[in-house]
Amino acid sequence: MARVNCMQCKHYQNTWDKYAPRGCSLYNLKSMQMPSILVKNESGKDCMSYEQREHFKNRGKKKDGMDLNDPNLW
């Protein structure tokens, strides 16, 4: 399995805590490390709760919605 990219996960969150700026809303944790690394270190297994955010799933595909780069909109 490829390494989990927490920043593309829908459970990832930034926190205001300067000593623990990265968090996971599903596991309810905050740390200096990426949450997937913390889960791997504690359990020995890759994070099984990774769910890619919708806007990353659609990256590179033709969207039926509004294209904000279209000059006709501006």
The residues spanned by each domain of the chain are 1-44
Phi, psi of 13 (to 5 degrees): -145, 145
Would you place residue 73 in the very low, low, confident or very high pLDDT band (cuts 50, 70, 90)? Answer: confident
Q: Is the pLDDT of residue 1 over 80?
A: no
Q: What is the pTM of this model?
A: 0.67
With vertex at residue 56, the alpha carbon angle to CA 3 and CA 49, rounded to the nearest 5 degrees, is: 45
Residue position matching structure tokens 């390494």 = 3
Which value, to the nearest 10 degrees, does the dihedral of the CA atoms of residues 22, 24, 27, 30 take? 20
Convert the pLDDT of each residue in 25-55 to its tens digit: 999 999 999 999 998 999 988 888 888 888 7
How many whole angstroms from its chain centre is CA 72? Answer: 32
Q: What is the mean pLDDT of residues 8-27?
A: 93
